[in-house]
Amino acid sequence: MSAATDAVIPRILKAHEADLLDEWLREQASAFRPGSKISENELRGQAREFLSLLQQATQSGNITDIKGPSYGRVRDMLGDVTRSRGLQGFSPSETAIFVFSLKRPLFDRIRTELATDPESLAMVTWSASELLDKLGLYTTEVHQKSREEVITRQQAELLELSTPVVKLWDGILALPMIGTLDSARTQIVMESLLARIVETGAEIAIIDITGVPTVDTLTAQHLLKTVTAARLMGADCIISGIRPQIAQTIVHLGVDLSGVITKATLADALRRALEMRGQRDRLLKPRG
C-alpha cells in the first residue's frame, strides 16, 4: 500500500467530517429499534468524538493496526462507550453497529473521491473495511470482557455468602451447603469449617447438602476430604440432607461413604449429634 492511498482515508475523514457524521447518525438511527436506550445528543457527541479521534489516528499513516500506539485514544474512547452501553443493556451487536454503520457513509465518500482510479479504490475500500471491522470486533471484545468481570465479581460475592458455618448447639456446628460444589468452593468451605472448629472447640460438625443439586464423584471426594480433615483435628462429621436421588447416585457411582455418618435430614443429624455428645459425656464422666 502506497503512502498516497494511505492518506486518502484521513483526508476524507477531515474534509467530509460533518457530512459523514450526519449520514452515519442516520444510518445508526435506522439500525436501532424505536425507543432507543440512548439520547440523540449523547449519540452525536460520541460519534463526533470518535470521528475526530479516528481521523487523528489514521493521520499517522497506520491504517489497519488498531493495536498500535496511535490508536490508544480511539481504543480508550470505544472502550468507554462500550462499557457504558453494556451497563445500559445494549447487546454486543447493537454496540458493534455503532462502528459498522460508519461503513456505508465512508465507502460512499471513498467511491466518489477515487471514481477515476479503480485500483486505488479497491485498495482503500479494503483497508477502510479492515479498519472498521477490527474496531467493531474490539467493541465486542470489550463488551464481553466487561460482562466477564461482572460474572467474576458476582461469583466471588456468591462464594462469600454461600458458606456460612452456624453454631447449632453447644459443641455442634452446622454447615448448610447450597449450590454446586467445585474445587475452589470446597477449599473455602473446608477452611472455614476447620477454622470454626478451632474457634469454637466444637466436637461435632454437620454438613448439610440439601441445597446441593447434584453429587458426582468429585463432589463426594471433596466431602470425604473435609470429613477426614475434621477428624484429624478431633471433630466428628455427619453428612445430612441426602435426597433419595442423590443416595441412588452415590451408590451407582460406587462412592464409599461407609466411614462417614450419613443422615437423611438435618433434624436426624442433630438428634444423632446430641446422642453422641450425651454418650461422650457419660463416658468421660469420672468413675464413681
Partner 1 sequence: MDHIPILKLRDFLLVTIQVDMHDRLAMQLQDDLTARISETGARGVLMDISSLDIVDSFIGRMIANIAAMARVLDAETVVVGMQPAVAITLVELGLTLPGVRTALNVDKGMALLESATREIGDSPAADAGHTE
Alpha helices (H) in 101-170, listed in sequence order: 103-113, 118-161
Using the rule CB under 8 A, is 214 a contact of partner 1? no
Stretch that binds partner 1, among 123-131, 139-147, 261-269, 277-285 (CB under 8 A): 277-285
Q: Which is nearer to partner 1, 45 or 278 (CB)?
A: 278
Query: Parallel, antiparallel, or unpaired: how do β-strands 236-240 and 204-211 relate?
Result: parallel
The single residue among 166, 233, 251, 253 that binds partner 1, judged by CB under 8 A, is 233
Using the rule CB under 8 A, is 288 a contact of partner 1? no
Output DSSP code: residue 69: G
Least distance CB 241 / partner 1 (angstroms)? 22
Structural contact between residues 132 and 103, judged by C-beta atoms closer than 8 angstroms: yes
Using the rule CB under 8 A, is 203 a contact of partner 1? yes
Q: Which is nearer to partner 1, 8 or 230 (CB)?
A: 230
> DSSP readout, 239-285?
EE---HHHHHHHHHHT---TTSEE-SSHHHHHHHHHHHHHHHHHHHS
Stretch that binds partner 1, among 19-27, 122-130, 232-240, 263-271 (CB under 8 A): 232-240
The single residue among 14, 83, 231, 243 that binds partner 1, judged by CB under 8 A, is 231
Q: Which is nearer to partner 1, 20 or 273 (CB)?
A: 273
Least distance CB 86 / partner 1 (angstroms)? 40
* Terminal CA-CA length for the chain: 102
Using the rule CB under 8 A, is 206 a contact of partner 1? no
Residue 96 to residues 28, 86, 92, 114, 141, Cα–Cα distance (Å): 11, 11, 6, 28, 10
User: Contact letters (x/-) for partner 1, 91-120, by CB under 8 A?
Assistant: ------------------------------
Return all residues near 100 (Cβ < 8 A) that are at least 6 apart: 132, 133, 136
Q: How far is CA 285 from the centre of its chain?
A: 56
Using the rule CB under 8 A, is 195 a contact of partner 1? yes
Using the rule CB under 8 A, is 232 a contact of partner 1? yes
The amino acid at 97: I
Structural contact between residues 159 and 188, judged by C-beta atoms closer than 8 angstroms: yes
- What CA–CA distance (Å, rounded) separates 124 from 141? 26
Using the rule CB under 8 A, is 45 a contact of partner 1? no
Using the rule CB under 8 A, is 198 a contact of partner 1? yes
Using the rule CB under 8 A, is 234 a contact of partner 1? yes
Structural contact between residues 110 and 124, judged by C-beta atoms closer than 8 angstroms: yes
Q: Which is nearer to partner 1, 78 or 197 (CB)?
A: 197
Using the rule CB under 8 A, is 287 a contact of partner 1? yes
Binding site for partner 1 (CB under 8 A): 190-191, 194-195, 197-198, 201, 203, 225, 228-236, 259, 279-280, 283-284, 287
